[in-house]
């Protein structure tokens, strides 16, 4: 009994860590895309002046 419960806890921890990393990667990608949009708008404004 003891071995299976510790494996279950380890598996749950690994799955939770992977989910956290995935969410973190998605958030960093979306913020990077937002930064690119801002730079494009700034360049367009400079060109139109």
Q: What's the confidence (pLDDT) of residue 28? A: 78
Q: What's the confidence (pLDDT) of residue 20? A: 94
Domain boundaries, the chain: 1-49
R_g over Cα of the chain: 21
Q: What's the confidence (pLDDT) of residue 33? A: 55
What is the tens place of the pLDDT at every residue in 1-49?
456 677 778 989 999 999 999 998 888 776 555 556 666 666 767 676 6
Q: What's the confidence (pLDDT) of residue 49? A: 60
Q: What's the confidence (pLDDT) of residue 1? A: 47
Q: How far apart are CA 11 and CA 3, in angstroms?
A: 12
Q: How far apart are CA 37 and CA 45, in angstroms?
A: 12
Q: What is the pTM of this model?
A: 0.50
Q: How far apart are CA 36 and CA 16, in angstroms?
A: 31
């Amino acid at each position: 009994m003891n071995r299976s419960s510790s494996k279950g806890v380890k598996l749950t921890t690994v799955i939770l860590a992977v989910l956290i990393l995935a969410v973190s990667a998605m958030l960093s990608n979306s913020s990077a895309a937002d930064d690119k949009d801002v730079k494009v708008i700034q360049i367009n404004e400079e060109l139109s002046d």
